[in-house]
Amino acid sequence: MRLSLRTTRLSTDASFSIIEHLPESASAFLRNKEGLVGWGEAARLTAKGPQRMQQLAAAWRELVSQTDVADEVGVPGSGLVAFGSFAFADDSEDESVLIVPKILLGSRDGVCWLTQVEESTSENFWDEPQHYRENSAITLREGLQSAEGFMSAVSTAISNIDNSRVKKVVIARDLVASTPTEFDIRTALHRFATKYPTCWTYSVDGLFGASPELLVRVSHKQVSARVLAGTAGRGTDPGVDFAISTALAASSKNIAEHQFAVQSLVDELQKFCSQVDADSEPFSLQLPNLWHLASDVHAVLKDDASVLDLAAVLHPTAAVAGTPTESAQQLIAELEPFDRGRYAGPVGWIGADGDGEWAIALRGALLQDNQITAYAGCGIVAESDPVAELEETELKCKPIREALA
């Protein structure tokens, strides 16, 4: 396959907001009213199995070598770009995918641009704000993992921690709902991006949500990531909210969970990077519905590895699987009565130079065949309580419930 595309700068005024310009069936990766939006498919690469990420990284390099690009903008996200989403587990039935859009609209630091495959045509969704249809309210119900089943799985996980099979494991539950045929995913994306602007709002091949966790970003050999582990609900007034945040920062259970996640990331980054630096202590990250313990990690890439190469070795982190990784994944397969699919897998974009941004597909859902499946999970450690963990999943489901209301 040989592609030819051109990137040109767009003239926009100060009122331009990319979240108002989502086309039908949009691919998207947005944060703080900036990012990338795609329409159509000029190329689609897929893979399954344990080597899915390595295979797609190689296929991407091959596609780059066969693409002619005229890029007059020259910023991260201009030129040839693919949106991507990867399955969580090696044995998942879901395909992992990279999609090159026919048309890409980008916005970053006040610069806006348009990338088009030469033969592509469409309505000019970038010229005027788009009208998103109002959806009927959608109510999620229990899926394959009931509330009682989830709490039982948590209890079993704690027993496996007590007998030293694992130190931490992340257990998830699923929620499902039917959608009308006229369901407009753009309405949900707009709500995500507006209510949770500091999260990464994503939409790739039916998977959509607003993730607070950046798996890895690479830009000119500078590597960064954000680790989240340790959670508490927001308070009902400022005094209570402050007390909750303070208690979270002092919680031995949450600190232990967080340290597992940070260390697993640092260990893997050191294989590709120099000068790996992580925050000495986590900070409290404030979201509209939750407090998280968060740590930022920075490093310098040693070689010509791409962001996909890094994502392949970083996934799955202890924040979404557990530690030790292999034992935690085996336990997840035993305790969760569903295939996670692309939930908790990497989601983001890659450019022709191998740079890009990948979040972890959290706080979202999969839309497929007029059905939505949402997921929420919790990190289980020795001090975990099944009832408290169930309550945490409800807090984590709040963004998707709001987006579908």
Domains and CATH numbers, the chain: 3-404 (3.60.120.10)
Q: In the structure encoding, which two tokens stand for residue 256, read together?
A: 């232990």
Beta partners for residue 44, in sequence order: 99
Q: Does the structure show a pLDDT above 80 at 210?
A: yes
Cα–Cα distance list, 300 to 166, 265, 358 (Å): 31, 14, 17
Contact 352, 79 (CB under 8 A): yes
pLDDT, tens digit (0-9, with 9 covering 90-100), for 75-96? 999 999 999 999 999 999 999 9
Angle between helices 252-269 and 307-314 (to 10 degrees): 130
Please state the pTM of the whole predicted model: 0.93
- The pLDDT of residue 304: 84
Distance between CA atoms of residues 346 and 361, nearest Å:
6
**Confidence grade of residue 118 (pLDDT, cut at 50, 70, 90):** confident
Among residues 34, 167, 213, 389, which one is catalytic?
Answer: 213
Among residues 34, 102, 167, 168, which one is catalytic?
Answer: 168
**Confidence grade of residue 150 (pLDDT, cut at 50, 70, 90):** very high
- The pLDDT of residue 69: 94
**Confidence grade of residue 204 (pLDDT, cut at 50, 70, 90):** very high
- 168 an active-site residue? yes
> In terms of pLDDT, which residue wins out, 118 or 219?
219
pLDDT, tens digit (0-9, with 9 covering 90-100), for 361-385? 999 999 998 999 999 999 999 999 9
**Confidence grade of residue 119 (pLDDT, cut at 50, 70, 90):** low
- Average pLDDT score, the chain: 93
Q: How confident is the model over 143-166, as a mean pLDDT?
A: 97
pLDDT, tens digit (0-9, with 9 covering 90-100), for 245-279? 999 999 988 888 888 888 888 998 998 898 899 98
